[in-house]
Each structure stands twice: as structure tokens, then as C-alpha cells.
């Protein structure tokens, strides 16, 4: 999946020499200009976790116990409690990182 390219073949010699002072022998990721995609947005993982978390809240509202939710969603007690405490995507209690 990675598109490894030899910097010596891509960069001008002066830029390569400058880069070698900071990260010799290191593989670097060079982002595209202006591109900033949040975690899980390209793969759909963020959306999938939001759907899972909503399903957990829905099942709890239907009367499922935390133990039942743990078994059904294969999550620990603390993870379930954090999901239930969050108000949903963009809500005041929802963290930017998904738990689980």
C-alpha cells in the first residue's frame, strides 16, 4: 500500500542534503499540500464506530444491561460506560477519540 520512493531520485541534491541532516536513513511521510483528513474518515472507521456507539446507546435504551452490551459488542465495562456517557457525535461529552 505504501508508495516508497527513493528520495535521491525525487528531490534536488541540495534539498536531499538538508533533509539528511534532520532524518538520515528515516522513512518519512510527506502529506499532500492542504490535505488534512481526520482519523478513520478515508477508511470509514470513524463512521463505523459512530454507528456502533449509537447501536450501544439504542440497546441500552431498550433495557440491555452493561454486561449484555459487553458480550454483544466485545468491549470492556469502562468502554461501554464511556460510550453511554457520551451524548453522541459532536455532543458536549463526546471525545474526539473513539473508545473501544
Q: Is the dihedral of CA 75, 54, 87, 96 positive or negative?
A: positive
**Mean pLDDT value of segment 66-91:** 88
8 Å CB contact between 39 and 46: yes
Helix, strand, coil shares of the chain as percentages rounded to 5?
50, 0, 50
- Has residue 45 got a pLDDT over 60? yes
Residues in the chain: 100
Q: What is the pTM of this model?
A: 0.56
Q: Is the pLDDT of residue 88 over 50?
A: yes
Amino acid at each position: 500500500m505504501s508508495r516508497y520512493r527513493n528520495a535521491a531520485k525525487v528531490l534536488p541534491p541540495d534539498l536531499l542534503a538538508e533533509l539528511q541532516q534532520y532524518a538520515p536513513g528515516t522513512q518519512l511521510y510527506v502529506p499532500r499540500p492542504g490535505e488534512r483528513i481526520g482519523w478513520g474518515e478515508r477508511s470509514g472507521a470513524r463512521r463505523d464506530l459512530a454507528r456502533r456507539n449509537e447501536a450501544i446507546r439504542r440497546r441500552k435504551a431498550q433495557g440491555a444491561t452493561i454486561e449484555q452490551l459487553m458480550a454483544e459488542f466485545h468491549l470492556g465495562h469502562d468502554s461501554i460506560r464511556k460510550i453511554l456517557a457520551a451524548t453522541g457525535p459532536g455532543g458536549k461529552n463526546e471525545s474526539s477519540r473513539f473508545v473501544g
